[in-house]
Amino acid sequence: MIDQARILLDRLKSGKYCDLKNDWKIITFFIGGNDLCIFCDDLNKHSPKNFTKYVTETLDYLHANIPRAFVNLVLVLDVRGVELLNAGGPVCKLLHKKTCPCAAFPTEDQATTLSEWIQSYHNMSINLVNSGCYDTRDDFTVVVQPFMAKTALPRLIGGDIDFTYFAPDCFHFSGKGHARAALSLWNNMLEPVGEKQWSWHEGENLKCPTEQNPYFFTSVNSPKHFESIPK
């Protein structure tokens, strides 16, 4: 993760994409799903503690090196749904066995650990941002965007999984899925901290800044200041 941050900084410094010093940048983290997919291969490497260490290291690096940045930390999705996506057919099962075995084919103990770790990934990410360590300047912030955390698999009217939201591997998003995720991320950014929606914004239009709140919400300009997991 830190290597990707260094590559990003090098590209920003090149001047091909923006003015590093003067232009505002939106940087979005959507990570953790792959770690949970293979957590049972190395419990130490993919533990919530180490996951948080990697996230902290990378955010610290961005904070120290990239001015005028709004960083979205998207909470990890619930990968337990991959087991249900095996219903997509033998090709999906084969790919899941290779890319997401710990979620698609968990033992009873692994399923218990996975449920606990998803919650821990969420809690530790929220606590990191709530600490305020990235709100020390006016030109940098990190905001938790939780729209994926409690998103359930999309369903058809009859109750079957709507696989049109997924690529042929029954894991990654299709164009339709990416469109829904993009809308939900944007709308999360326009919702105050502590009042954000924790699942996909189904049936909603894109929100726009208002005259009263003509900006993206942060912990500084939101009434509640802190994010928390809804009960």
What the block records as the tokens of 192 is 């105050």
CA 83, CA 137: separation in Å to the nearest integer? Answer: 43
DSSP 155: B
- Tokens 């770790």 map to which residue? 117
Helices 48-65, 108-130: crossing angle, 10 deg rounding: 30
Q: What is the pLDDT of residue 34?
A: 94
The pTM (predicted TM-score) of the whole model is 0.94
Q: In this predicted model, what pLDDT tens digit does every residue of 20-68 receive, in sequence order?
A: 999 999 999 999 999 999 999 999 999 999 999 999 999 999 999 999 9
Q: What is the pLDDT of residue 198?
A: 94
Report whether 24 contacts 69 (CB < 8 A): yes
156 Cβ partners below 8 Å, 6+ apart? 162
Question: Count of residues for the chain?
Answer: 231
The residues of the chain scoring below 70 in pLDDT are none
pLDDT in the model for residue 224? 84
Q: Which residue ranges make up each domain of the chain?
A: 2-189
Question: Which residues are CB-neighbours of 147 under 8 A, at least 6 positions away?
Answer: 74, 181, 184, 185, 187, 188, 196, 197, 198, 199, 200, 201
pLDDT at residue 16, as a whole number:
86
Q: Please report the pLDDT score of residue 177 as a whole number.
A: 95
